[in-house]
Amino acid sequence: MSTTSHPIHPVILCGGSGTRLWPLSRASYPKQLLALIGQHTLLQDTLLRAAALPGAQAPLLVSSHDHRFLVRDQCRDIHCTPAAVYLEPTGRNTAPAIALAALHLAQADPDALMLVLPADHVIDDQTAFAQAVASAVQAAQAGYLCTFGITPSAPETGYGYIKLGSPLPLAQQGQSLPAHDIQSFVEKPDAATAQRYLAEGGFAWNSGMFVFTAGAYLKELQTHRPDILAAVRAAWMARTDDMGFTRPDATAFNACPSDSIDYAVMQPTKRSAVVAASFGWSDVGSWDSLWQISPKDALGNVALGDTYLTHTRNSYVRAESKLVAVIGLDDVVVIETADAVLVMHKSHAQDIKGVIAHIQTNGRTEHLAHLRVHRPWGWYEGIDAGERFQVKRIMVCPGEKLSLQMHHHRAEHWVVVSGTALVTVDGKEVLLSENQSTYIPLGHTHRLENPGKLPLHLIEVQSGSYLGEDDIVRFEDIYRR
């Protein structure tokens, strides 16, 4: 690989909210924010992988509004300071999201190299990845829009494919991989077609990762989807900044057509290119694919958490809050969370969408959030609930505070378990420590704050005629919600 490094601007797309890894992945806590392989989340691994590349600059993130504080906290945990974090008011697929990043970079340098990475992929071989990026950079500097094609290891039906064309006539590439033009993009095939692709060769999995200059992307988007570029540009021009986030104008962005970069740009352009590579890639699109890439024991099992397995092979078992025992079953997935349990054969991993449809049809919420709900100040977790009462466990991070608020329909009792709580009720402050408590009558203005250096844990008992989260009137909020 060439030793010359060019400034590369990682663009991390982290706005997805998929539920294919339900019940662990939820709309409010999607898979890119989960630690599925190792100690870091998929987002953190993506940021660290990009930062390790020669010439890597501070990353630019495109996230959803709902996940902004989780993204912020996960960046802080690995000491990553993004160049910018753009918040999509609504998801409009990848073409508009990448356009936001391209407009940001092009204002300073239209030739800025963009490395576009989804935040929910797994890559095992950093050296091979860096080599592939170096090849893609050469193609991008020659004016191409380059993607990465993963050399197939199996007749996979869950991925789109790219048919490789001729090698590009680029300058001497040293030890890096050759880039090819793209003969065609192919939709997800059936099993027989996927087997034929594997036997014939010349096909690669479509990874959804890209390298190009900001100016080249905007030029091609203007040529093939000027409606998308016009809407995104209007939203970007009217952007606002607060708390380290950049917000495109919601009205303009919401009016933008929704389309992927593949359909909007990569398929119609005549400047597309692909680097075929093998660097241990997976998009972790199902529980079966997660089992495939996870470390296994001698019987082929992945067992995480408080589990007991016997007479069981080639299975993925994950316990989040309770003991899970699996006896005499092979090729199964068992996922336990505090409010849901999934048991299925690995071959039915794509059928989870039926569970989600059932949950939505019946007005349930298990697809939206876990019992532990994260907030910018910490989290709360439901413990018990019944007629006219609800019990929660609350954790407030050091130095953080909840909004100044009032409830119309409930009163609250707070008992401090550990840490120090600064409680304000109708303008009067009181400092509470371990085992002390207070009562917040219905209709009284109040605020909870952690002035200490340790996490504050407390138990909240709510009582009243209505206990929904929407019974909150905020008067002041440092998080601008």
Tell me, what amino acid is at 356? I
Q: What is the pLDDT of residue 321?
A: 95
Q: Is 45 exposed, middle or buried (0-12, 13-18, 19+ CB in 10 A)?
A: buried
Q: What is the pLDDT of residue 456?
A: 98
Determine the Cα–Cα distance for residues 203 and 136; give it in Å rounded to an integer. Answer: 18
Q: What is the pLDDT of residue 173?
A: 52
Q: What is the pLDDT of residue 481?
A: 79
Determine the Cα–Cα distance for residues 267 and 46; give it in Å rounded to an integer. Answer: 26
Which domains are assigned to the chain?
8-282 (3.90.550.10), 290-360 (no CATH), 372-476 (2.60.120.10)
Task: Show the tokens assigned to 343.
Answer: 């048991």
What averages of pLDDT result for each successive group of 10 residues across the chain (481 residues)?
A: 72 87 95 94 98 97 94 96 96 97 97 97 96 95 96 89 90 68 92 91 94 98 98 98 95 97 96 95 93 96 98 98 98 97 94 95 93 94 94 97 96 97 97 97 96 97 93 91 79
Q: Are 139 and 177 in contact (CB under 8 A)?
A: no
Beta-carbon count within 10 A of 158 CB:
16
Please name which of 161, 192, 166, 189 lies closest in space to residue 179, comparing C-alpha atoms: 166
Predicted TM-score (pTM) of the model is: 0.91
Q: What is the pLDDT of residue 174?
A: 54
